[in-house]
């Protein structure tokens, strides 16, 4: 089990970024420990993808 998970920013960070990294760290740990289902972590990481349209070729493939 990962006991010392650290999120290290690649650029100098402000207090707001460090605070959100700590929050994300707690959310990832909760998911890995089975305390949550991880939907908040997935939403934070990939939520923007939900707004993208489904390509027509993929729609056609799924219909057939």
Mean pLDDT calculated for residue range 14-43: 78
**Which is more confidently placed, 55 or 51?**
55
* pLDDT score recorded for residue 56: 94
Mean pLDDT calculated for residue range 22-48: 86
Q: Kindly state the DSSP code that residue 49 receives in the 8-state scheme.
A: G
* pLDDT score recorded for residue 24: 83
Dihedral sign from CA coordinates of 25, 28, 32, 33: positive
Domain ranges, ordered by start, for the chain: 15-63
Say if CB 41 and CB 31 are below 8 A apart. Answer: yes
Report the share of the chain in percent with pLDDT over 90.
Answer: 14
**Which is more confidently placed, 62 or 48?**
62
Mean pLDDT calculated for residue range 28-55: 87
């Amino acid at each position: 089990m990962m006991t010392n998970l650290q999120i290290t920013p690649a650029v100098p960070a402000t207090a707001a970024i460090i605070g959100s990294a700590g929050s994300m760290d707690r959310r990832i740990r909760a998911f890995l420990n089975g305390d949550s289902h991880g939907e908040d972590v997935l939403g934070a990481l990939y939520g923007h993808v939900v707004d993208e349209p489904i390509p027509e070729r993929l729609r056609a493939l799924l219909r057939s």
